[in-house]
Amino acid sequence: MAILLAAILVLSLASCGEKPATEATTTEAPAPVTAPTPANPVIRLSTTTSVNDSGLLPYLLPVFEQETGYKVEVQSAGTGAAIQKAVDGNADVILVHAKASEEKFIEDGYGVERLPFMYNYFVIVGPKDDPAKVGGSANAAEAFGKIREAEAKFVSRGDESGTHKAELKIWGDDAPDAENDAWYISAGQGMGACLTMASEQQAYCLTDKATFLSMKDKLDLDIVLAEGDDMKNTYSLIAVNPEKIDALNTEGAQAFIDWMLGEEASGLIAKYGEEEYGAALFYLLEK
């Protein structure tokens, strides 16, 4: 029992040292709202964990909320769930990164228009000594080939998230099979949990750069491949179609999209991460 109590104490101390959780679903405006409150002030945003966990939304939303008087309720989940929530009528606007799913969403009539607006790069992270000699590969496909050849451990999201879909696309037709390939670990968890697992097991992992950088201190991993033509990760905004789903805050969704695509937000996005990580985490698409 004494050990247990001591451990709880240690845990609580350890957690004090960490950054405050970035998962807050609503962000409080630091100053009194200056804009008049809109008729329907609540915007439901369904998005992927990477945008929220990297700290981008908690960084942007207070500014938006203060300027417009809207309140954004963020639901963050994998891309699959993020889109499904909109299909089920539980979101006004989505911010995701899986082109094929997004196109299907629009094709099925749920989305108005796909508006790609920013991107970053997936990176391959792995053990610091890079046992499969992935570093220096021309692109992710080549790196994956080396990992497969070496049968080095590889942690896959396995949750049909945008990152998982991007990973599967890189593997191509002949993706490893978790049942028979013991080195291929299909974790079925979020990015953070997968990175932690990769660190524990000294495995490779495909991740968005933002999440990795925000967790780097706690991981025993390095970026082994940072660039490649097949590693671009594009984020899009899509307003949910009011002709298909009722009781939407279409006005709010449009206001949010306009603001996000506007100059002020662009400036903020381009700067985000420079201070903390020494490099921007997201880049704006050329308009």
Exposure string for 276-287, b = 16+ CB within 10 A, e = fewer:
eeeebbbeeeee
197 belongs to the binding site for another protein (CB under 8 A): yes
**Other Cβ atoms closer than 10 A to 46:** 27
Contacts for 262-265 with beta carbons within 8 Å, 24 or more apart? 264/63, 265/60, 265/63, 265/64
78 belongs to the binding site for another protein (CB under 8 A): yes
- DSSP, res 217: G
Return the number of the residue (137 or 186) whose C-beta is nearest another protein: 186
CB of 94 to another protein, least distance (A): 11
Sole residue written with tokens 């921007």: 280
161 belongs to the binding site for another protein (CB under 8 A): yes
Among residues 4, 21, 39, 247, the one that binds another protein under rule CB under 8 A: 4
Among residues 199, 207, 233, 236, the one that binds another protein under rule CB under 8 A: 199
168 belongs to the binding site for another protein (CB under 8 A): no
CB of 159 to another protein, least distance (A): 5
Return the number of the residue (11 or 285) whose C-beta is nearest another protein: 11
Among the listed residues 283, 152, 284, the one whose alpha carbon sits nearest the alpha carbon of residue 205: 152
Task: Measure the CA–CA gap between 225 and 211, rounded to whole angstroms.
Answer: 15
Among the listed residues 29, 89, 91, the one whose alpha carbon sits nearest the alpha carbon of residue 60: 29
Among residues 27, 68, 186, 211, the one that binds another protein under rule CB under 8 A: 186
**Residues 13-72 contacting another protein, CB under 8 A:** none
**Binding residues for another protein (CB under 8 A):** 1, 4, 7-8, 10-11, 77-78, 80-85, 87-88, 158-161, 178-179, 185-190, 193, 197, 199-201, 220
